[in-house]
Structures are given as structure tokens and as C-alpha cells.
Amino acid sequence: VLATATPDHLCPGTAPALAARLGLGTVPALDIAAVCSGFVYGLAVCHGLVTSGLYERILLVGADVYSTWLDPADRSAGVVFGDGAGAALVAAGRRGDPGELLAFDLGSDGTGYDLISVPGGGARARASGKPAGPGDGYFRMQGGTVYQHAVERMTGSCRTLLDRVGWDPAEVDRFVPHQANARILRAVAERVGIAPQRCVTHLERVGNTGAASIPLALADAADGGLLHPGDRVLLTAFGGGLTWGSAALRWPGTPQTMCMDSMEGTQHVAPR
């Protein structure tokens, strides 16, 4: 399962080619286009596929190459985004194991589809019969409005999920939001009630890497000794679409393996 907003081509999807490059043979493969929410959406999809009994092990990849779609004349976006990739192995496990994933909260609002977009290249633009504008192939974002939506949606999603799993914000050991920008992260953490020292950030070094940002932040925190077995971890993300989502899990320990739990069964996820 590949979460990406920068596929190799409009058609076909990139996941089958990635599976082939990894030597995985004829396994099923699919793309998820939830932009910066892609990794959380991907976790939910993989969770469902495993708990249904359809598959026992699924490789989830979050990867984006923002440098390919940034307008070189738009310095405001160029200094924010970066290229990156992260992966996790989702596999069947036992309920109560370290790394247990407790619940998801997902949402979307298509009325705001144009707030984060690449206007040209798709079927809608082609069907219009109008010639492409000079900047239609580049990434466009309405920053002020996106900020408001991102803070509101991630805050609401986190609160809903905390209520669902019965965690008080003070009980969250590590808060790992999508690494959009520092202002958004601080605003969401403050509104949810999570102390700044429990918020995992590394965007000051890598920028906004889209669907890769959460797995990269988790790997960075684990390498830095910030995550410990059994830690209560809250993930949240917001992206184009508009899409958003959150996940609650217990950190696995060593090796880096997260197990994902649902009402039907348990899964493990191993970030790499």
C-alpha cells in the first residue's frame, strides 16, 4: 500500500511498480491519494485488511517528492516542503501486545478540494477544453485558509479519538502530528491539551514531507530515545482533499514493531 500525492504517472498507480522493484512478485498493490493524511489513512486500510483475515502482512509506504511539483517562482512553498519516504510492516498479532493500535478517526470535506491542489493534468482539466495555464502543473495552497482548517480538523479528530480510547490528554506520552509547520503543530497540541515537550517534531530539519512525515518523525523519535515500550502515542494528520485522520497506539519497543488492535483482532506495524 503506497500513500503518495506525487505518483510516478497519472496512470497507472505507482504501488505495483514499487512492489515489483522490491521483488515482491505478484502481490496486490494499490495507491492511496489522501495527500498529507495518506499514512494515517494507509494504516487504517492495512488494519482493516489484516483484521478481516484477508492478509497477514502488508507493507505500508508513505512517500512524496514535492520538489517535482513546486513552482520555482514560489519561494513561499519551496522553503516549507521536502522529499521523503517511510515504511511500516503491518502484520497479524495478539491483542494486548506492545504496539497495540487502539482506534482510528478519519474524515474528509470535499468542498475544500481546491485549497490544496495541482490544478492541471487531471481528467477534469483535460475535459474542460481550455488550454493549461502557465502555473497549472504546480502545487498551489491557500495558506491562511488551510491553516484554519488544519488546526480545527486535527484538534477535533484528536479529541474524538482520545474520548474513544479513554485517554486524558495528560496521559499521551508522545504526540506525533503530520509535520506541516511549527505554528500548526503548536496550535493543535495546545488546543488538545498536550504539553510541548511531548510533541515530536523534526520538520526543522526535513520540512513537510507529506505522507512520509509521520513515519519519518516516528523513526527519528525512536532513534533519539524518545519512545519507550508501552508509550501511549497519538498520531494526527491533515491534507488536501480535504482529508484528516488520527490514530492511537502503544509503542512497541525493540525492534520497532507496532501492533495494531481492533475489535476483531490485533495487528503489528514495524516502522523502518
Which listed residue (36, 158, 199, 259) is catalytic? 36
Rounded to whole angstroms, the Cα distance separating 185 from 171 reads 18
Sign for the CA dihedral angle at 245, 251, 256, 260 comes to negative
Q: Which three cell numbers stand for residue 271?
A: 516502522
Max Cα–Cα distance, the chain, nearest Å: 57
Q: Give φ, ψ of 144 to 5 degrees.
A: -60, -45
State the catalytic residue, choosing from 46, 47, 158, 178: 178
Is residue 46 part of the annotated active site? The answer reads no
Q: Catalytic: 36? A: yes
What 3-state class would DSSP assign to 164? Answer: helix
Active site residue 181: no
Q: Rounded to an integer, what distance in angstroms lies between the CA atom of residue 157 and that of residue 133?
A: 37
163: cell is 474520548
Angle between helices 143-165 and 182-192 (to 10 degrees): 30
Catalytic residue, chosen from 46, 47, 208, 268, is 208
Cis previous bond, 12, omega within 30:
yes
212 neighbors 39 (Cβ within 8 angstroms): yes
Helix spans in the chain (H): 15-21, 38-51, 75-78, 123-127, 143-165, 182-192, 203-206, 213-223
Q: Which residues are catalytic?
A: 36, 178, 208
